[in-house]
Amino acid sequence: MADFAAPMTGGQTFQLAGRPARYTVLYFYPKDNTPGCTTESMAFRDLHAQFQAAGTEIYGISRDSLRSHEGFKAKLGLPFELISDPEETLCQQFGVMKLKQMYGKTVRGIERSTFVIDAHGQLVKEWRGVKVAGHVDEVLEFVARQG
C-alpha cells in the first residue's frame, strides 16, 4: 500500500509509514454528527482500551473539515484522532466513494468501510458497506486473533 499523509485532529499529520502499532484501523464514515456515524465512533471509543491492548491504533476518516472533526471528537470524547479528507484523496485511494440512495435521491458519498493495515503497511482486512451494529466487535475480534 502506498504511503500517505493527511491532516488530522490535534494539529497533527497522519503518516502511514513508520506507524509503531502492530495494526492500524482506518474507518471511513459519511459525516460527523449523524446518527450512524456517531454510533460507530462511540463503539470504537468504548472498545478503545481493548484495541490498544491488541496493539492497534484507530483513526476515523471523513470528508468533514478539521474544525468539524475537532467538535465531533470533543462532543463524543473520542480517545483517537480523526483524519480530514475534504479533497477525497484517501477516499479515492481506498475506493469508498459511491453513489447512494438517500431520501429518494441519488447522492455521492462515502460508503461506510473499515480497513486494517499491519505494521509493514500491508492491507490485511477490509469491510465494505458496513452495517454499524456489531461491526466494531468484529474488527476487534479480527485484530485480537492476529496477536
| Residue type at 8 in one-letter notation | M
With beta carbons less than 8 A apart as the criterion, state whether 76 and 38 touch.
yes
Q: Which of 8, 25, 26, 37 is catalytic?
A: 37
What's the CA gap between 82 and 137, in Å, rounded?
20
For the segment 10-67, what is each residue's pLDDT rounded down to a tens digit?
Answer: 999 999 887 877 999 999 999 999 999 999 999 999 999 999 999 999 999 999 999 9
Q: Which CATH number fits the domain that encloses residue 29? A: 3.40.30.10
For the segment 70-112, what is each residue's pLDDT rounded down to a tens digit?
Answer: 999 999 999 999 999 999 999 999 999 999 887 889 989 999 9
Does residue 4 form part of some domain? no
Does residue 46 form part of some domain? yes
For the segment 117-139, what is each residue's pLDDT rounded down to a tens digit?
Answer: 998 889 999 999 999 999 999 99
Q: Is 37 a catalytic residue?
A: yes
| Residue type at 6 in one-letter notation | A
Domain count, the chain: 1
Q: Which domain holds residue 141?
A: 20-146
